[in-house]
Structure formats: C-alpha cells, structure tokens
Structure 1
C-alpha cells in the first residue's frame, strides 16, 4: 500500500456519495505517476471528510497545523486535529471509517489494504474516535486504535477509543475487541456492549463494564425491502444503510445491524429533543414498516410504527421529535426520555445532509460496480 508520497503507479478512484439522491459520483482519480510533480500523491491512503467545525491537518514530518480541506487525501503519518464542536471522518480504501470526535488529535499509523485483506492502525494522541470496520475475506484483517497506554484491535465491527492524560478507554458495539498493553500482551477481550479503562504502567486491573453514550436511545427497525438511514439532530452525522446495502456509521456509540431475515436496525444515542430524520430507500417495490422505539436505560418509553408502500429507488422520510425531563435535559448523556413522536411518512426528493465516501472495494464486494 502506498503512503501517498512515493512514486508508485497505482491509481485508486474514490467515489463520494453526497446524500443527494444517493447518487454515486466520481470525485477524482490520481493522475499517472509520470504526470505527478515531485512530492505529489498518486494514490490516497485515506480520504478526510469535514462534517463541521474547525478541522486541521498536520503532514507527516511536520509540526505545523494547516486548515484541513474537505475531501483531501491523507497519507501514513498524517495527523487530524478537531476543535470544539468539530467532527471529521477518515475513510480508508476498504471502506472502513474512523470518526474523529471534537477536541481530538489522531494519526494514521498504518494502512496496508488489498481487496481481500487490510491492516489499519490509527493512533489516538488525545480525544475520542469511533470506527466502523469493514469485514474482508481474510480473517486476519484488522483495525487497531493505538495509544501510548494500550491498543484495541477488532477484525470487523463498531468500536471506539478515548485517550486522556491519565487513561485509555475503549468499547465495542459490534465485534469482539482485543485489548493489549504496549508490549503486545493481551489484557482482555471485550464483547459487544462492553467497555474498559486502562491506566498507564499497569496502575489498574482492566475489567469490562457496560457501555452507553446516552442513557436515552432511539432504535429504528426497518422491514425487509427498505434501507434505513438516521440523520442526527445536527444534520451532519448519519448512521444506517445506503444503496446497494452498504453500512454507514459516523455516530459515536450507535449500532447499525443487517439481519439475516432482510430487516435492518439502527440505534443511535438520543439524549436530545431532535429532530432525528429517518429516511428509507426502497430496494424493491412493495409494502414496508418502520418501528421506532425510544428507551431510557434500556426500558421502553415510547413505540410507534409507520407503514407504507415504496418503489425501488424511491425514498421516504419521517422526523422524530422527543420530550425530555426538564430537570435532566441540559446534559445529553444523562437526559431522561419521557416521550416521542414520528411525523407521517412523506416522499423525500431533496438533498440530504451528511456525506459518505464509498470505497470501490466495498462496492465491488456487494455487487455495486
């Protein structure tokens, strides 16, 4: 895998799906090596998307931060820094994504990627990241979240990591995570729904604990035949599925799950009034149902079912608004959900917020190209 600065002749085309009619548009391909100026990049290790706020980029070998450009290439050793209320997404060539949360500093350490196997490593210098890891044919494929204190590694799934001056924390919503110390010794294996905290120099004995971002959640279950996508209340972060059945997850602590019976589940942290926009796209013509459940600490607070008929390629949407306990509403992690309501389904024709980069490798794997 090229680091983006060596003179190799591999040309990789990266597709971007701006959620505008779910169209997949080619946004660029690297010129041939002979046409590249000295120091230019002929293939991207990864691509950076700026979802909002102030995001900076530090080139490998440099110490000077520059404003990051939405859609810019990243190379091995590059760093991404986010400011307050700022979020960015790193998309690797296999389709795996790392969402960089506000006030974070991360570095791309490794990205050896082929159509059948990938080995990706991202170092968290400070802050929080959330990763969606694509399953490839080779079971040895992996994505690791590194720190100076510990490393979390998964073969496929949804994992996160946090680095602060006094600890490293990691968690998983899907896929077992192996946690190792700086010498590579296994400390423990986390199962979905668990987190653990590791202090430097063996100051504590890591143990699993339950993981949740918000005590209030919104769970959307779509019947077979439609793909659901949830747009968060900031209008930028999305979690769900896009045609042709590709998973997208930029929302810290969310769950995106495709079931064997053709149904799809999206669960997002929901300690806010909303609105949360739910869009469904038909993958075939017919009737469908959406079941929306709002919960607090795992206990159901409200449930609503919407139904309709849809054509292949057609999109429909609803907006979910919620009521929170006024005494707890100011703190999103602990806000107590008291009720919620989804508007009637309507046809969606305009552009959607959010952006998704679709890897040619992943598109080919699902028969999309």
Structure 2
C-alpha cells in the first residue's frame, strides 16, 4: 500500500530569518588609529613633558626679550625711502616747441639745452626795442646839446630863467626815455634768450612727455629734473625709538634692490611734527576730535632724515625706492652692517 507524501516547501526547510520588526545588529567599527607620528610614547613620563614645555616657553621668552632689547638699544626699521630734490623745469616765456634736445632718463649737466621754443616773435620784439633805443638815444643827445646851448645863453642873459628851466626838463625827459628804451631792449634780449631752456643743475631728466609743436606756457612745468647730488634717505622710526637716535649717529642703509651692498650714513635731522589724523577744524572754529580707544595706543612714526656718506657707482639711487635703516653704535661707524631685521620681532 502506497503512502501519500506531502511535498515540503523550501521555506519550511530553511531557518527562520529575522523579520523587519527585528533590528539588524551591526558590529561596532574598529576605532581609528591616530597618527602615530604625533603621539607621545606612553613610556615618556609626565614630568619630562612638563620640563620640555617649560624649556620651549623659556626659549621663546628669551628670544622675545633679546629682540626687544636689541630694538631698544639700536633702533632699526624697514620703513625707509630714498628721496631727492626734483626740479620742475618750466619756461619763463610762452611759445611752440621747435626742438627737444634730450631724451627720457638722460643725464645732463648744468647749462645743457633741454628744449627750445619758437624765437621769431621774440626776435621781432628785440629788433623793435633796439630801434626804439636808437631813437631815444638820438633824442637824448639832441636835448643834451640844446641844454648846453641854453646854458650859455642863460649865462649871457640872452635866455630867460623860465626858458632855461624848460630846456632842463626836456633834457631830463629825454634821458628817462633813453633809460626806459634800454630796459625794454634788455627785456626783449632776455626773453629771446629764454626761448632756449637749459638745465639749471646736474641731474637726470625724468617723466619727459614734451613733443615737437606742443605749446609751452610760461610757468607751466614741462619736464622734471632730479638733481644728481641731492639724494638722501628718510626713515620712519617709532616715537619710542627717538630717544636712542641722536643727531649725527651712524646708520647703515640697505636698499631693497641691493641687499648685499649696505651704505654708510648718519642721522642729519629728526622731524619736529607730523599731521594729526583725529582732529579737524569745525565750522564753529573749535577743534573737532574723533573718539579713540585708549586701551590700544600705536606708536606714531616720525621721519628721520639720513645723510648718505657714500655713493658707490654700482649702486644707483632712485627716488621712491625702499630702504632699511639701522642705527649703529659709534664704534660701528666704519663697519656698517646690513640693516636686517632681528629674528622673531616686528618693527
């Protein structure tokens, strides 16, 4: 007799799986290992760590104290600038430019021609003044001769006193007219000469924008001329450093473009004042002062003028370039060192 077999489903044969209501348990992620490079070994005792920290703090404090002491005894600054006398060349007469005899940045000597204006009008004025002088001289000679004759006639009684005084007045007027004509001639001659504009000093032409045909007005600057021997350095020191900067103190000047070529200098003068930033004039006539925060006070910087004692040929000076300044002790006057900043300090 055959037995009836019931097929068993796969679901019944497989073990029961977790239902949705049962949360899935995840294994905790392994802890991240910190960079062993920055970990202090466990074997180092705490006392050694404290000693190392204290030693580092002491070294930093010593460096700051050394920098402060060095700055206080021998002031220095990187806030310096090369300056010089700039002469604005302007014609004293007006006229169109007919010649430009120099180029930009060209060195010139005193008396060298810079540019020339059209002289024709001034030549005509000179010729007219010369003719006026000739006429005035002739009239003065005639009046003088008449006065001599009148004097003889007056002595002999042939000429009355009134007529003689009139001759004297005419002669004096003629002499005055002669002097005026001579002055006009001198003025015309000077104006004609001034159509040729020359260099007043030895120097360098800079910022030349003058062109042929351009009308140059009298008194208007047409080009700039930097005087050759007029360079100096202005350094801006903090007001707290001025007590250590006597007049005549030696200084080391280092140009930013030539850091390995320090120049010798000396303190020439110290400015007696700077502009106020927090005060202005009120319409009422009273001073209008802006509020300030007293817990932060920044030291003002005062201009100190440094005279250069040497100018090497291979270190050209240019107005506006940056320079570093260090005030040296008197014993170091002949051993100027580069004006470099002490480490770990801010000027």
TM-score of the pair, normalised by structure 1: 0.17
**Which structure is higher in RCO with an 8 Å CA cutoff and minimum separation 6?**
2
TM-score, normalisation: structure 2: 0.17
Look at both structures and tell me which one has the larger radius of gyration over its CA atoms: 2
Q: Decide which structure has greater helix share.
A: 2
